[in-house]
């Protein structure tokens, strides 16, 4: 009951379909104006479906200059372990590494792989294509929303979210599970954590020792999102813009970035792109617990307007909208893929 009331009183946990009710009306309005439900296809012409659904992470990484993201390799479903190990060796990807679906959904199926045995279990279970990549060494993560209209030579940062990982601190006598239960946000992840950690949750963490239970900043996996938009500066905007201008056909989306310090990120050093998300990107700074649902609606409407206007501009320049029949086919494939990943 405690967790139930926590979810009821914090809109950030409400179902997607409920939160987006007003936005559906705005989407319908823009669809009528564009004469296409799937106008988002033109928002990022070089990314499949504009990055709204069924887009490949590996294909997006291939658009980004190599120096900005970790070594990454695509593994096809059913690939033999020996071949996977050979790919990792040739690419010089080291353990621990990250494995995640090539076509993903809000952090589902993302796993830190510490050993060959972990990789073997992941490969045997995965009924989808996935990528393996180096674990990024930086401790902090932000999501940076970037927008640029096709006629502009420089874009802008429209929001930043910082991410507080699911980290517990030992007191010398409580088990890991007991420490998790001290925080409702963490306890909501207990079922998944039990599947991942098993009996390790009964370990007693030494006093002062920290344990990062989920080493990636995903809201659905327990990370706390904090609005960091006050970090937007001309220097940071210049740094992000210089990188984004090297990504062909990218105009609208969120860059999830791991970094050492904000000062170094501003200077364009000691950071790495975790993922680039396209048309389906949310301005995730809205999920800061201090923000109201009305604030979220305003920000969602603002960013969908950006996406619509960029799509229309690209369409005038020759980028096609997705035909309705093709769009519905892609949507059905998206639902099937989502079910596979969530069940994983």
User: What is the residue extent of each domain of the chain?
Assistant: 1-69+137-165+216-313+328-338, 71-135, 166-214
- For residues 12 and 287, the answer to whether their CB atoms sit within 8 Å is yes
pLDDT score recorded for residue 195: 78
- pLDDT at position 221, please? 64
- Please report the pLDDT score of residue 192 as a whole number: 77
Give φ, ψ of 157 to 5 degrees. -90, 125
Mean pLDDT of 27-41: 96
At 194 the pLDDT is 82
Q: For the chain, give the mean pLDDT.
A: 90
The arrangement of secondary structure in 1-69+137-165+216-313+328-338, i.e. its CATH architecture, is 2-Layer Sandwich (3.30)
Q: At what angle do helices 81-91 and 116-125 cross, to 10 degrees?
A: 130
Hey, do 1-69+137-165+216-313+328-338 and 71-135 end up sharing a CATH topology, with the first three levels equal?
A: no
Q: Where are the alpha helices (DSSP H) in the chain?
A: 2-8, 16-19, 21-34, 57-61, 81-91, 116-125, 176-180, 184-187, 190-197, 234-244, 262-267, 293-316, 324-343
Exposure string for 9-19, b = 16+ CB within 10 A, e = fewer: eebbbeeeeeb
In 3D space, the residue among 83, 287, 256 whose CA is nearest the CA of residue 185 turns out to be 287
Q: How far is CA 40 from CA 133, 190, 324, in A?
A: 29, 36, 12
Between CA 46 and CA 60 the distance in angstroms is 9
Residue 218's pLDDT is 66
Looking at CATH, the fold of the domain delimited by 71-135 is given as: Dna Ligase; domain 1 (3.30.1490)
Instruction: Return phi, psi of residue 101, to 5°.
Output: -55, 140
């Amino acid at each position: 009951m405690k967790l139930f009331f926590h979810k009821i009183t914090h809109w950030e946990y409400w179902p997607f379909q409920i939160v987006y009710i007003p936005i559906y009306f705005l989407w319908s309005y823009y669809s009528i104006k564009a004469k296409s439900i799937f106008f988002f296809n033109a928002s990022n012409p070089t990314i499949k479906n504009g990055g709204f659904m069924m887009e490949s992470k590996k294909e997006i990484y291939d658009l980004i200059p190599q120096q900005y993201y970790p070594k990454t390799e695509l593994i096809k479903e059913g690939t033999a372990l020996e071949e996977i190990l050979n790919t990792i060796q040739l690419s010089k990807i080291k353990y621990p590494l990250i494995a995640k679906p090539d076509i993903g959904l809000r952090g589902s199926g993302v796993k830190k792989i510490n050993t060959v045995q972990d990789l073997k279990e992941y490969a045997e279970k995965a009924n989808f294509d996935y990528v393996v990549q180096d674990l990024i060494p930086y401790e902090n993560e932000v999501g940076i929303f970037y927008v640029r209209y096709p006629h502009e030579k420089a874009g802008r940062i429209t929001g930043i979210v910082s991410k507080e990982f699911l980290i517990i601190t030992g007191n010398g006598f409580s088990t890991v599970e007991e420490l998790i239960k001290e925080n409702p946000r963490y306890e909501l992840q207990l079922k998944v954590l039990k599947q991942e950690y098993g009996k390790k949750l009964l370990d007693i963490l030494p006093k002062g020792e920290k344990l990062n239970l989920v080493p990636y900043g995903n809201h659905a996996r327990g990370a706390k999102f904090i609005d960091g938009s006050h970090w937007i500066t001309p220097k940071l905007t210049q740094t992000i813009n210089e990188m984004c201008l090297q990504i062909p056909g990218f105009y609208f989306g969120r860059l999830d970035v791991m970094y050492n310090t904000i000062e170094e990120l501003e200077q364009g050093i000691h950071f790495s792109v975790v993922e680039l998300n396209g048309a389906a990107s949310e301005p995730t700074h809205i999920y800061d617990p201090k923000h109201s649902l009305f604030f979220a609606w305003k920000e969602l409407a603002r960013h969908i307007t950006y996406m619509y206007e960029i799509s229309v501009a690209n369409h005038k320049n020759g980028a096609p909208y997705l035909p309705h029949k093709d769009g519905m086919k892609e949507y059905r494939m998206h639902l099937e893929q989502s079910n596979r990943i969530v069940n994983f």
